[in-house]
Amino acid sequence: MTVKPQFSSQPGAHERQLIRCADNPLFPAQRRHVIQIEVTQAQRHDAEEAQAFQTDFRTLLQRAIELDPQADSDVILKLKEDIDHTYERCCGLGGDRQEIKTALRKLLEHVMRAVWHGAANDPAAQANLREEELAREAHFQLLELPFIADLIRPDSPIGPDELIPSLLSESAESVAAALELFDADHLIVLCRDARALLEALPQAPAELATAWARLAQLEARQHAGSRLTPD
């Protein structure tokens, strides 16, 4: 009897990808057969990432505490950029990271006060800051979806050859968010290859109902985009 691997209740990025693959007919047979040693290795990798993150977070916290309100704009903007990047990293970690995310938001507010102070007499700069803050909040909301946090990592555990089966396995909400990341040309290729994958599988359509629904979602977005494109 095959022993099923033991997954974590709050997995990190690498373990999450194994969960997507496990017993999933959209993935190649070798990839969908996940064994415990793979899970253990992924958990170790995720734990090492979390440990490195904690070290970097403490360093970032110290930089923010020591920030001189009169510091050069380059110093302030670099710190803001690093906080944004650290928030992205945090969203991809396993476990409950809400406390750290809250702390990072407070750090960002602290730094943004200095940024706003620098734009005090510049209406154009203030307008840009308001637009930036709205975009950041929208981005942070997307990052609450683990699939998005995994997808946008520079070292994403979702390889190019696993993007389509992963997309087709996700919730409608996650796919809708992911669609914001693809341009029209990429979406055409995704739709073509996703349809080819599903049509080549031996499973009955009813067994792949979720995957076909996600394909319909992708194709609806593609067709909507093509109607908006001028001839």
pLDDT at 22: 96
pLDDT at 2: 64
pLDDT at position 69 is 74
pLDDT (tens digit, 9 = 90+) per residue, 22-32? 999 999 999 99
pLDDT tens digits, 125-136: 889 999 999 999
53 and 129 in a single domain? The answer is: yes
Could you tell me if residue 44 is inside a domain? yes
Average pLDDT over residues 143-172: 96
Q: What is the pLDDT of residue 125?
A: 85
| Residue 14 located in a structural domain | no
Find the mean pLDDT for residues 35-50: 97
The mean pLDDT value for 90-101 works out to 96
**Which band of pLDDT confidence, cut at 50, 70 and 90, is reported for residue 68?**
confident
The answer to whether residues 171 and 135 belong to one domain is no
Mean pLDDT to the nearest integer, 205-221: 92
Which residue, 168, 151, 160, 162, is CA-closest to 216?
168
Whether residues 139 and 221 fall in one domain: no
DSSP states of 68-111: -TTS-HHHHHHHHHHHHHHHHHHHTSSS--HHHHHHHHHHHHHH
pLDDT in the model for residue 133:
93
What backbone torsions phi and psi does residue 128 show, to the nearest 5 degrees?
-65, -40
Task: Give one DSSP letter per residue of 122-143, joined into a string.
Answer: -HHHHHHHHHHHHHHHHHHHHH
Q: Which residues of 162-172 are buried (b: 16+ CB within 10 A; e: fewer)?
A: bbbbbbbbbee
In this predicted structure, which of 100-104, 217-221, 225-229 has the lowest mean pLDDT? 225-229
Confidence label for 48 from pLDDT (cuts 50, 70 and 90): very high
% of the chain at pLDDT higher than 70: 97
Residue 200 resides in a domain? yes
At residue 71 the predicted structure's pLDDT band, cuts being 50, 70 and 90, is confident
Task: Please indicate, yes or no, whether residues 65 and 131 belong to a single structural domain of this protein.
Answer: yes
Q: Which long-range contacts (CB under 8 A, 24 or more apart) does 48-54 make?
A: 49/12, 49/13, 49/93, 50/12, 50/93, 50/94, 50/95, 53/86, 53/89, 53/90, 53/93
Q: What is the pLDDT of residue 173?
A: 96
Domain that holds residue 183: 159-231
Who's near 43: CB < 8 A, 6+ residues apart?
A: 8, 11, 12, 14, 15
Residues 46 and 138 occupy one common structural domain: yes
Confidence of residue 229 (pLDDT cuts 50, 70, 90): low
- What is the greatest pairwise CA distance in the chain? 72
Pairwise CA distance, residues 212 & 131, whole Å: 37
What is the total count of domains within the chain?
2
Q: Is 156 left (phi over 0), alpha (psi -120 to 50) or beta?
A: beta
User: Whole-prediction pTM value?
Assistant: 0.89
Q: What is the mean pLDDT of residues 202-211?
A: 84
User: Picking from 61-75, 83-97, 101-115, 151-165, which range would have the lowest pLDDT averaged per residue?
Assistant: 61-75
pLDDT of residue 227: 64
